[in-house]
Structure 1
Amino acid sequence: MAVTLADVAARAGVSAATVSRVLNGNYPVAGSTKERVLRAVEDLDYVVNGHARALAASTSDLVGVLVNDVADPFFGLIASAVQGEISESDSPVGGKLAVVCNTGGSPEAELNYLTLLERQRAAGVVLTGGAVEGTEHTAAVAVRLARLAASGTRIVLCGRPPLTPLAEAVITVAFDNRGGAQRLTEHLLGLGHRRIGYVAGPAERTTTRHRLEGHRAALAAAGLGGSPEQQDRLTVHGYYDRSSGYDAALELLRREPGLTAVVAANDTVALGVCAALRDQGLRIPEDVSVAGFDDLPFSVDAVPALTTVRIPLQEAGARAGRLVMGRQAPPPGGVATVRTELMVRASTAAPRAVGTGGAA
C-alpha cells in the first residue's frame, strides 16, 4: 500500500497541513518541525504526487480579510493596515489583491465567506475581531480553515483567540483583552470607586467574555466580586455601538442610582454612555466617571477626553498582513499576544465623596 501524507504526518507527530507546507515550501515552518517531517518522508520512502503538489501550489493572488463591521473604526484600522501589507508590490514576494469581507457579525456569513475563499483558492485569509463562541460554530470554522491550510492558504487570526486544533496551521495575533480590562478597573478602584457599572458587548463573543473576565477579576481582587446575581445586576450586555451604550447607561442608573463609574465595552459604546449621563443631568467625571476600550482615534478628542485601553490596532494589522504574506516569521508556538496600555485621561476622577475627604 502506498504511503500517504497522513502516514508522514503521524510519523512526524504533526498535522497533514504542516507536512504539505514543508513539501510545498510555501509557508514558514520551524526548523525542528521541518527536520522531523523530512526525516519521516525519508524513513517511509514517501513519494510526492507531482500533480497534487502542483495543484496545491496553484493559489490565486487573492487574500481575504474578514471583518465583523467594516464601518466600525476598530475593524477599519485593522483592515487598512492588513491591506497595506498585502498590496505592497515592492516586497520580495510582490503584492496581492486584498478583498475585505464584511460579515455583519453573522456566523453564517463568516462560514460562507470562508467557503467562497476556498473555492477561489485564496493565497491567504485574515480573520479579525472576536470569535463567536459555541462548539458547533467553532468546529465548523476549524473544518474550513483546515481545508484552506491543506490547500496552501496562509491563515492568520488577528484579535481572535487561538484555535487549538489548528495550532500548527494557523497563526494568531491575539489581544490582551483580559489584562487590559483588569488594569482599567484597577484604575477606577484606585481612584476610590466602589459602585462600578459595566456595559458589555454581545454575550456570545470571545472579546466580550475576556474583557468582562478582566473587569470582574479586578473587582474580586479588591474584595468586591459579590455573588453572580450581584455581578449581573451591574452588567448590561448590548452591541458594540453608541445606541447600546446609551440604553445600557440608563438601565444601569435605574438599577443603581448611586453609580459612580461606568466601564464600556469599547470607545464607541462609551460615547453613548456619556450622552445618556448628560441627558440625565450628570457631569463627567464629577458625578460619574466613564472609561472605554480600544483607544480609537476620536477618544482623545472626546469631551472630556476618554480614559481607555489602547490596543495598537494598526501595528497589529500590519503584522497580520506581513504574516499572511509570508514576509515575517511566525511567532514561537504560532501565537503572539499584543499588549495593551492604559490611557488615563479626563473622563475619570475620584468620586466626589473621596475627592472631598469623605467616605466612598
Structure 2
Amino acid sequence: MNRKTTLCMALGVAATVFAGTAWAQQTLRLGHYFATEDFRGKTAQHFADQVNEQTDDLQVDVYPNESLVKGREALQATSQGVVDIYSVYAGYLSGQVPLINIFSLPFPPPSYDDKAMYELALDPDTVALMDKTFAKFGVKYLGVINSSGPAQLFLRNPAKSVSDIRGRKLRGAGGLSDVALRKLGASVVLLSAAEQFLALQTGTVDGISTTWSSYVNYGLADVAPTYLAATVVRAPYLLLMNKAKYDALSDAQRDAITNAVNNTVEWSRENFAAEQKMLHDKVVEQAKNVVEVSDADKAALREQMQPIYDSYVEDNGEAGRQLMDNWKKVTGTE
C-alpha cells in the first residue's frame, strides 16, 4: 500500500469520525408558551428529558414562555425552522389547519373527557390524517403530549348564565369554540395566554375562555373574579416538528423521539387528574363568584352547537367525516 493510498484512507476515517462527532452534537430547540412550573411546561420538559436520556447523539433544549416563538406563530415558525419542535394548543392552529377543528368542537358532552380526547387523538386513523395534513406545511405531526383540561369562562363582571356573555368582548380559545362564542352573541379577540392578564386588567376584553391552569398560574382571579363553569372546549396540546429536521434523523433518533412521546403521554395521563383537582380547588377558592351551569342549560347549549358540528364535516370532506365518526365513537354519541 503506497503513501497516497494510506493518506486517503486516513482522511476517510477522519471524515467519518468528524461526521459522527457532528451528529453527536445535534441539538433541537423545543419552544412553548407556558411557565416552567405550569404542568404543560413540565410536560414539555419531560419530553425533552426523555429524549436526552435515551440517546447520546440528540439533545433537546427547551425554550419556555414564548422566549423563542409565540404560540400563535408555532406552525409557521416550525415550518420555517425558526424552532425545531413546538408544543402548541390545537385551537391556535385551526385557522391554518381546519381539520384540527375536530379538537375545538364547542360545548362538548360530559362524555368527552380527557380519556375520550386521548382516545381520539391517539387513534391511528387520526394520527395518519393529521400527519398527512401537516406534511403539506413541511411539519411532522409527532402526536399529543397532554390535555388542556376544560377551557371555561372567566369574566371581569358578574354573570348568572352563559347567555350573559352576549354583548361582551371575550378572548377565545380558538377554532370552532370561537365560532360558538360569536353565535352566543359575544365578540371574540385573539390573544396569547401571556396577554390575558393585561387585557383583562385594562378592559381590552370583558372575559376569557381559558384553562384552570392559566387562570391559576397567571393570577387571573385578580382581574376576572367571576368563574362561569361551562366547558367551552377541551383540546390537546400537539407536538410538531420541522419535517426536514425529522427526516434527517437516524432511525435510532426517530425511535427515541417516538418513545419519548409515548412515555410523556403516559406520564401526563398518570399525573394530570391530580393536577386538575388541585387546580380546580384553587380556581373555586380564588374566584369571588362561582356560577355553576345546570345539566339542562348544558344540553340546550349542545343543541345550539349542532350546526357548527355539521359545518365541520361539510368543510373538511371525507377526512372530516371520518374524524367526526371517531369523535362520536369515543363520546358514545353515535
Q: Does the pair score TM above 0.5?
A: no
Q: Normalising to structure 1: TM-score of the pair?
A: 0.37
* Larger Rg computed on CA atoms: 1
The answer to which structure has the higher strand fraction is 2
The answer to which structure has the higher helix fraction is 2
